[in-house]
């Protein structure tokens, strides 16, 4: 599909004017918004060197919405941003209902942009637009994340927690059975035989899914599409891994050096568990086993990530 045909789909939702469409067909934005926080966020995700655009024209009548940026989700669907709100277009009814369910559950515990139904028939949701700024990477960001998760864990109900023993996982027919076997055999026996709490979590935490609001400096968590039940420390290690894999940030190696032990001590105490700082690698292995056995993401996406994990983490342990 060429650039003009792609833009034509959204003319009724976009302010008239000249737009840029990036070469990956992931974002369309009005010319004067190239330096906006949303476009800058996209550039940081793909790398400035991979950012290339072509100009397209939007000129139509009968506007349904006055947007100026279209963002295509890697997992399907897309969002259209105006200066006041965001429209989220969903592919199917199951996804539409899941987004609402996730919002209704997690908004009780985390700061999430307000979500409401905009057009139920066409499966369009309206999200609060967060005026955000780039947050500083490092220990302060991580401390804020841990604080939010500690507050979540402290307010969980008993029925929201299910204990899982990883030694009992059946994986003989799993497509990644060889890697799972290696990770299980590399995990400390005491940790492997321990019953660990499984709870509802984000599932794809990293800095691009966390917005720091300019005025309040509060963190807002976005893009809950991979939310599911995971081992309780999954999101923290998912954050470490995503930051390394996408942005080459070394949180995971700082963790292995013991820098964040004090944060994990408190995190584990929420479930009356003792954090074992002599076996930090084992928690990484448990996290990645959980990633492999979880069915939220398709196998083809996992294949790419598995190769990256082997190269960037396992080879260095």
Q: What is the CATH number of the domain that holds 153?
A: 3.90.1200
Pick the last residue of a domain from 82, 105, 132: 132
Q: How many domains, the chain? A: 2
Q: Is the same domain home to 283 and 308?
A: yes
Q: Is the same domain home to 170 and 246?
A: yes
Order of all β-strands in the sheet with 132-133:
132-133, 210-213, 219-221
Q: Which residue intervals of 111-233 are DSSP H helices? A: 139-154, 177-186, 189-192
Low-confidence stretches of the chain (pLDDT < 70) are 1-5, 75
What pLDDT score was predicted for residue 5? 66
Which domain covers residue 21, as residue numbers? 3-132
Pick the last residue of a domain from 132, 156, 183: 132
Q: Is the same domain home to 143 and 120?
A: no
Q: Is the same domain home to 222 and 268?
A: yes
Q: Is the same domain home to 238 and 105?
A: no
DSSP assignment string, 262-275 = HHHHHHHHTTT---
Q: Is the same domain home to 117 and 221?
A: no
Q: Which of 21, 26, 235 is nearest to 110 (CA)?
A: 235
What pLDDT score was predicted for residue 7? 79
Q: Is the same domain home to 155 and 213?
A: yes
What pLDDT score was predicted for residue 45? 81
Q: What is the pLDDT of residues 44-103, one digit of tens each?
A: 888 888 898 999 999 989 899 999 999 998 767 899 999 989 999 998 999 999 999 999
Q: Is the same domain home to 154 and 294?
A: yes
Q: Is the same domain home to 59 and 111?
A: yes
What pLDDT score was predicted for residue 265? 98
* Whole-angstrom distance, CA of residue 57 vs CA of residue 36: 19
Contacts of 295 (CB under 8 A, 6+ apart): none
Tokens of 2: 């060429």
Is pTM beyond 0.85 here?
A: yes
Pick the last residue of a domain from 106, 132, 158: 132
What pLDDT score was predicted for residue 147? 98
Contacts of 2 (CB under 8 A, 6+ apart): none
Q: Is the same domain home to 166 and 271?
A: yes
What pLDDT score was predicted for residue 297? 86
Q: Is the same domain home to 157 and 44?
A: no
């Amino acid at each position: 599909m060429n650039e003009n045909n792609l833009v034509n789909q959204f003319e009724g939702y976009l302010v008239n004017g000249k737009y840029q469409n990036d070469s990956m067909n992931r974002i369309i934005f009005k010319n004067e918004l190239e330096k906006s926080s949303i476009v800058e966020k996209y550039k940081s995700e793909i790398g400035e060197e991979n950012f290339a655009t072509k100009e397209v024209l939007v000129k139509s009548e009968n506007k349904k919405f006055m947007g100026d940026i279209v963002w295509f989700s890697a997992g399907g669907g897309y969002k259209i941003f105006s200066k006041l709100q965001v429209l989220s277009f969903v592919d199917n009814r199951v996804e539409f209902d899941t987004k609402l369910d996730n919002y209704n559950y997690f908004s009780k515990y985390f700061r999430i942009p307000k979500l409401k139904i905009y057009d139920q028939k066409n499966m369009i949701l309206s999200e609060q637009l967060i005026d955000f700024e780039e947050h500083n990477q490092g220990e302060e960001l991580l401390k804020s994340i841990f604080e939010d998760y500690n507050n979540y864990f402290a307010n969980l109900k008993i029925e929201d927690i299910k204990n899982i023993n990883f030694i009992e996982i059946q994986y003989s027919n799993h497509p990644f059975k060889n890697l799972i076997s290696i990770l299980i055999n590399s995990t400390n026996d005491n940790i492997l035989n321990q019953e660990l709490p499984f709870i509802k979590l984000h599932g794809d935490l990293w800095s691009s899914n966390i917005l720091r609001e300019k005025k309040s400096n509060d963190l807002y968590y976005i893009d809950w599409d991979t939310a599911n039940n995971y081992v309780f420390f999954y999101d923290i290690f998912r954050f470490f891994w995503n930051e390394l894999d996408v942005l080459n940030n070394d949180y995971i190696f700082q963790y292995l050096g013991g820098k964040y032990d004090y944060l994990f001590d408190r995190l584990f105490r929420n479930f009356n568990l003792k954090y074992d700082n002599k076996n930090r690698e084992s928690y990484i292995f448990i996290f990645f086993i959980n990633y492999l056995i979880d069915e939220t993401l398709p196998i083809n996406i996992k294949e790419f990530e598995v190769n990256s994990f082997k190269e960037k983490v396992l080879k260095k342990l």
